[in-house]
Amino acid sequence: MSVDVVVYCSSLERRCGVGAYAARHAAAEGVSSISNLGQLGHRRPTHLHVHHEFGIMPLGELKSVIGYCRRNRAALHVTLHSVYAVPEPLHLWPIRKVAGIADRLRARVGPRLGVQVTAPDRPPPDFLNGWTWFNRTGLLQARRIVVATRLILRGADLIVATTQAAGQAVTRMGGRQVTVIPLGCTQYPTSDHRFSREDGKLHVGFFGHLARYKRLLDIIAACDRLDDVVLHAFTTVNDIWPEARYLADITACASSRPWLRLDLEYHPLERIVWYLSQCDVNVWYQEPSDIMYASSSIGEYLAAQRPVVAADTAVTRDLTGIVQRVDPYDTAALADAIRNGQHQDTSGMRVYLERHAMQKLNLYRKV
């Protein structure tokens, strides 16, 4: 039987970097991409590869996709851009508290009774047990996330995670077949030119949606500590989570700092990589999160093949030795890393790009 793969990404038309990456990788293998089931027409693919993001793909749309695959006996592959720890009953208060007390009692009483006590199985600190995000997320949104996660765990023939930690978390939650493939590590054309050759200053690059968790204000604060610096900030207002006050803060910084070059225009990813490749060092400084998520922007930083300074989080742990990782809450350390980052060896980055760009494409060859 011939194999017919279609990539489904509901964010393709919403200026989403992840969606654009998915379409580019698919096109490189001659695989078509769609943003809704209606675009299939009379076509009946054997495999549907869904790129799923909470908050972008509605629960009803996910149910429709799963139902379509069941009715047409199409294999369902799902790349999870974000992974939340789904709270199980034993993780919730007060049962979770009672379970902790029981653990301590067993530790005290067990040895006296000659019972061997083993440490309880706990999730690693990078991936919390679900209580933290569940407790602060609105009940309705939390319910949607839990339902969507369980639907994917039950309905997907293959789940793709983008980091090792996220893949392990999906497996612990019951994922049947899980593979880890880094997202967005394809190579775009780069430039041999450097901005610093024109003025002798240290040119720093930043890229990402204009959202607080991207920590652009912290990057600006770090650059305040440096002399002869130019910060190129390529950012666009997020259509899904607009932050007007944050935009006002950023534009105020730009008006008082002539060295901050703020670009709010939307650019194709190839153009962003071209710009970043001309900087001396680029900075990815997103805040740590209690969810596992993909970052398409880190892929663009890597594609530029210039030194990268990144916040030390679970998202960048797989890039140890490839990017320079720093404390995510220490702007002084960030400033030092930026100052010295231009001397970083990028040979390992090129090897990583080549290996994982091919690995991403190989997903379609294996089906």
Q: How many domains does the structure of the chain reveal?
A: 3
Q: How would residue 311 be classed by pLDDT, with cut points 50, 70 and 90?
A: very high
Whether the Cβ atoms of residue 312 and residue 198 lie closer than 8 Å to each other: no
Q: Are residues 211 and 306 in the same domain?
A: yes
List, for residues 73-114, the tens digit of each pLDDT value.
Answer: 999 999 988 888 776 554 444 444 554 555 555 555 544 544
Q: Are residues 323 and 275 in the same domain?
A: yes
Query: Which residue in this structure is represented by tokens 């920590």?
Result: 215
List, for residues 152-183, the tens digit of each pLDDT value.
Answer: 999 999 999 888 878 888 888 888 899 888 76
Q: Are residues 56 and 166 in the same domain?
A: yes
Q: Are residues 109 and 172 in the same domain?
A: no
User: Which of 44, 54, 22 minimizes the C-alpha distance to 35?
Assistant: 22
Residue 191 domain-assigned?
no
Residue 340 domain-assigned?
yes
Q: Are residues 167 and 249 in the same domain?
A: no
Residue 115 domain-assigned?
yes
Q: Are residues 118 and 131 in the same domain?
A: no
Q: How would residue 268 be classed by pLDDT, with cut points 50, 70 and 90?
A: confident
Beta strands 5-9 and 47-52: pairing type? parallel
Residue 204 domain-assigned?
yes
Residue 187 domain-assigned?
no
Whether the Cβ atoms of residue 178 and residue 159 lie closer than 8 Å to each other: yes
**Structural domain containing residue 288:** 196-355
Beta strands 292-293 and 82-83: pairing type? antiparallel
| Sheet bearing 47-52, strands edge to edge | 32-34, 5-9, 47-52, 75-80, 158-161, 178-180
Percent of the chain with pLDDT over 70: 77
Query: Residue 330 sits in a domain of what CATH number?
Result: 3.40.50.2000
User: Which of 340, 356, 184 minimizes the C-alpha distance to 273?
Assistant: 184
Can you read off the two tokens belonging to residue 231? 């910060």
Q: What average pLDDT does this structure show over 49-57? A: 86
Of the two residues 16 and 203, the one the predictor is more confident about is: 203
List, for residues 190-199, the tens digit of each pLDDT value.
Answer: 999 999 999 9
Q: Are residues 208 and 262 in the same domain?
A: yes
Q: Are residues 203 and 262 in the same domain?
A: yes
| Sheet bearing 260-263, strands edge to edge | 260-263, 229-237, 202-210, 281-284, 308-311, 324-326
Last residue of a domain, one of 122, 140, 169: 122
Residue 366 domain-assigned?
no
Is it the case that residue 18 has pLDDT exceeding 80? no
Query: Residue 72 sits in a domain of what CATH number?
Result: 3.40.50
Can you read off the two tokens belonging to residue 331? 């702007």
Is it the case that residue 37 has pLDDT exceeding 90? yes
As a whole number of angstroms, the distance between CA 301 and CA 297 comes to 6
Decide: helix, strand or coil at residue 310: strand
Q: Are residues 248 and 324 in the same domain?
A: yes
User: Which of 191, 205, 357, 221 minimizes the C-alpha distance to 280?
Assistant: 205
As a whole number of angstroms, the distance between CA 241 and CA 16 comes to 12
As a whole number of angstroms, the distance between CA 27 and CA 40 comes to 16
Q: What average pLDDT does this structure show over 277-297? A: 81
Residue 190 domain-assigned?
no
Q: Are residues 340 and 205 in the same domain?
A: yes
User: Which of 135, 22, 40 minimizes the C-alpha distance to 78?
Assistant: 22
Residue 361 domain-assigned?
no
Q: Are residues 140 and 17 in the same domain?
A: yes
Rg (alpha carbons) of the chain, rounded to whole number: 22
Decide: helix, strand or coil at residue 137: coil
Q: One-letter amino acid identity for 106?
A: R
Alpha-carbon torsion angle 78, 348, 16, 261, nearest 10: 170
As a whole number of angstroms, the distance between CA 33 and CA 12 comes to 9
As a whole number of angstroms, the distance between CA 24 and CA 30 comes to 10
Whether the Cβ atoms of residue 65 and residue 48 lie closer than 8 Å to each other: yes
Q: Are residues 142 and 202 in the same domain?
A: no
The per-residue pLDDT for 162 is 83
* Whether this model's pTM surpasses 0.75: no
User: Which of 347, 336, 265, 271 minimizes the C-alpha distance to 306?
Assistant: 347
Query: Which residue in this structure is represented by tokens 């294999």?
Result: 75
Looking at every residue in the chain, the average pLDDT score rounds to 81
